[in-house]
Structure 1
């Protein structure tokens, strides 16, 4: 089940609309890591903007609302085209510089 791969899940029902970063800060607090050690996965420029406002890295996925060109222009740090790519790119990103707490929260 994919839900077991996430430490927390926040939805639009949990706070103000994107790009307000409130729900992202709530997730960061629940996990107990720093924003700079957080990766958010998003499929819209609103997700990328929310991540920027929270000083969080945003991994764009282009099978949703916005395509890769738009997500890249919005400054997603990387773009994934599949779930396998999310796992690979996230692991690479964390290995490059996340602190120990962030590495402990990696669930794949």
Structure 2
């Protein structure tokens, strides 16, 4: 069985139970601006992308002049739900346990730096992750830039790392960076959709994901 020295996690929908909050915020922002309302499935698909990429995917004819207004409304709706957002049950203890065992941990997320830092501080998890990268610091998923920067910062080779995420964007980013991937189907993308991206492995629950990683780190 292959083992890994490091695990890089996506954030929303993988560690944080926030998928429904993101979908609701995106749809509410569309409603605020009188734009066509995307379906839940359409809004779920863009989770993990940078906010700009997500908005252009949802509203292809969105003008650059309205982009700032859309982003502002999205953030307002998302932040209004901040207190309701929590890690999936068991994730806090799991992450701390990996850290205590000496596993190198990182985050590659479509969130902004400000958004991720706010979450890390609220959960007192900043010291658990040795390095993190956000969509406003590198090209967004599925471009491999975030992962490649993390590998360089942490002095890791691709074969030493596994990427864990809930979207095809995560799986493809890992592939482009030469990194194995564990896709989880309890987040934004379905098991069937994740399978089309051909991850190294696929887990259906938080417990399955944790067990898979514990056996390989």
**Which TM-score bucket, shorter chain as reference?**
0.7 to 0.9
TM-score computed with the length of structure 2 as normaliser: 0.39
Shift of 1:24: 0.4
* Pairing 1:76–2:190 present: no
Shift of 1:5: 4.7
Higher Cα Rg: structure 1 or 2? Answer: 2
Counterparts of 1:82 and 1:9, CA distance in 2: 24
Of 5, 20, 27, 2:143 maps to 20
**Map of 1:30 onto structure 2:** 153
Shift of 1:76: 1.0
Structure 1 runs not aligned, ≥5 long: 95-108
Counterparts of 1:37 and 1:88, CA distance in 2: 18
Structure 2 runs not aligned, ≥5 long: 1-91, 96-124
Residues 49, 29 of structure 1: alpha-carbon distance in 2 compared, 3 angstrom cutoff = same
Counterparts of 1:75 and 1:33, CA distance in 2: 23
TM-score computed with the length of structure 1 as normaliser: 0.73
Residues 1-108 of structure 1 correspond to what in structure 2 (within 5 A)?
1=92, 2=95, 3=125, 5-94=128-217
Moved more, 77-86 or 53-62: 77-86
- Any conservation in 2 of the 1:45–1:71 contact (CA below 8 Å)? yes
- Any conservation in 2 of the 1:43–1:63 contact (CA below 8 Å)? yes
- Any conservation in 1 of the 2:147–2:177 contact (CA below 8 Å)? yes
- Any conservation in 1 of the 2:186–2:206 contact (CA below 8 Å)? no
RCO comparison, higher one (Cα < 8 Å, 6+): 2
- Any conservation in 2 of the 1:15–1:22 contact (CA below 8 Å)? yes
Counterparts of 2:166 and 2:197, CA distance in 1: 11
Q: Supply the RMSD in Å over aligned alpha carbons.
A: 1.9
Residues 72, 37 of structure 1: alpha-carbon distance in 2 compared, 3 angstrom cutoff = same
Shift of 1:80: 2.1
Moved more, 77-86 or 48-57: 77-86
- Any conservation in 2 of the 1:19–1:46 contact (CA below 8 Å)? yes
Shift of 1:58: 0.9
